[in-house]
Structure 1
Amino acid sequence: MVFITVRFGDDQSALFNPNCRNVNLLRDIKRKCDCNIEETFDLSDENGEVANLWSHPEDYGRNYLTERGNFILVRVERNEASEDDRVTYTPMLYGMENQTEFLDRLNPKPVKGGKQRRRGGADDSSSPKNDRRRGRQSSSQPPKKNPTPPTRSGVGVRK
């Protein structure tokens, strides 16, 4: 059975089936975790990497989440007043506000002199998982060459 664990609130957790469209998964998470239905939520792994389910509502959660993984519920806050349309994430699990390493990964500082890309956007190719899903290789790996098929000497070969 495919499932994930979502952690939220005061060390609470709930099981969910990610084998459905993200819009349905997020709606079910909001309902079970007693969240405001009008707000936007997403999931982050325990390292602070956001899944960006909310930006891909028609895709399936199983494409973005590790089976039997533990995830932290995060609130998505869009600052539409800023030039770069920056998105910030707030963990909905008590005690995470003191985890500076997690928070730094969750909300990286913008790069000076350039716009910060929104994670999970159409041009986001920094994640190896996204590369595998889209059929591309990660930029950190050299392209693989097709090896020559091995030959069996003496079997069916004329000399």
Structure 2
Amino acid sequence: MDMMARLAGWQIRPPLIEHPPLPTCADADRLLVDRPGTRLKNLFLRDNYGRRHALLLTRPGKQVDLKALSRQQGWSRLGFASAERLQRYLGVAPGHVSVLALVNDVAQQVELWLDEELKDGDDFHCHPLRNTATVLLSRSDLLRFTGQTGHTPLWLPVPSF
């Protein structure tokens, strides 16, 4: 799928920055990739039974307390979803995850959780289904995108260690 063409069809035309593969935030740090905007860490989570899934966006350096987050959200023990689940629900491999992968969740099986600490952010860094580029998605474009995919963002205080 050409993610940029899909976004343009929804009147979303963010800047695109090409770069070497960046599967993790640490990789971007090592390469000293300097991009304006708000960097994100994307965590694909599942409940203990594998029945519920969430994509959590937070700050790159934040160490999320999954035990406290699962209690807060009323989910049975949260954990990281497998690469197989990531492919099945979001259509991407590990290292390529961003909010834009929700375009592949047509069955609406993944919840979108956004850390309240990001509320003042803008120009969010998002892989366009590949980790060799980053789009800078404005807050209004992020909301337009989630509206198009049918994913209502849940802003929440994300507990950390």
TM bucket (normalised to shorter chain) is: under 0.3
Higher helix share: 2
TM-score by length of 1: 0.26
The one of the two structures with greater contact order (alpha-carbon pairs below 8 A, sep at least 6) is 2
